[in-house]
Amino acid sequence: MDLNSISTDNDVAFDLSPLIKVYKNGRVERLEGEEVVPPSLVLRNNVESKDVIISNKEGISVRIFMPKTILDDCSNQKQKLPLFVYLHGGAFIIYTPFSPNYHNYVKSVVSKANVIGVSIHYRRAPEHPIPIAYEDSWLALKWVASHVGGNGSDAWLNQHADFEKVFFAGDSAGANLAHQMAIRVGLEGLPGVKLEGVVLANPYFWGVDRIGSESGKEFAPKVDMLWRFASPKSSGSDDPLINPDKDPNLVKLGCKRMLVFVAEKDILKDRGLYYKELLQKRGWNGVVEVIETKGEDHVFHIFKPTSHEALVLLNHVVTFIKHV
């Protein structure tokens, strides 16, 4: 036996620092996004939360957020609130709904917009490569829709969710997922659910051919690498899941309103801008608004939530939800 060929715990197969390392023995070390907070840790913003398991076998769950005033006031027991479904970012490989930044972000939207929040925990690559994240997200959405008649497994959704006013949202990879889930609603439908609008923050879209300022960015090849890492059986960066320009179902979106955030310093900015052009060019019968934040980088609003610019974006989301 060649002792030099034996892998040790420290032999690295893939090093995608500062995000993740995968060792030759199969061990996965996530370098970001591993911190978690329990539900209802802090009741600031007057929001209560809880975790609900959808599938023990697959490890799919949701964290549900509810304005505490609805739960405390007996006179509000039949009040219906819009439903805000969130999909977190992290390149399909890091972070969860239980990460402090994502927990706090959804809580802030729930508090300010007076909605019910459902943050989806989907399985991540590389242990669960794409398209598993998409299938998990769709399974979670079907579970949410199972409460339409008031006979689902969760009392909060049964009693208080207004399924005529549903919004999907996400950032980065989560924005990609939200976009794809909206297409799936358009193709397959969610009985009893009316998808009013979708919010995409710094969406993780890409393509083989560089557009705008992408060709001058040193990080561009790493975006290709990240997609390949999360989706090893993919056709590459022109896969319709990552490149809307290659998706024949692009205009099948099951909503009529889109709000897209881009950030000036984000390498993905031009993809977000191009997304609007694509929808218009393909004749999508809806309204898409793009808002660019100057001087900021990718998903800054998640990691600098109290900054002036992040609060401006939060207010845009609230206005988008309330303008029904």
Are 81 and 114 spatial neighbours (Cβ–Cβ below 8 Å)? yes
CA distances from 117 to 81, 156, 209, 217, 245 (A): 10, 11, 37, 36, 31
Contacts with 37 (C-beta within 8 Å, 6 or more apart), sequence order: 98, 99, 100, 103
40: left (phi over 0), alpha (psi -120 to 50) or beta: left
Please give the Cα distance from 162 to 156 (Å, whole number). 11
| DSSP code per residue over 128-181 | S-TTHHHHHHHHHHHHHHTTTTS-SS-HHHHHHEEEEEEEEEEETHHHHHHHHH
CB atoms under 10 Å from CB of 34, counted, come to: 12
**Which sequence positions are flagged as catalytic?**
172, 266, 298
Residue 146 to residue 163: CA distance in whole angstroms = 11
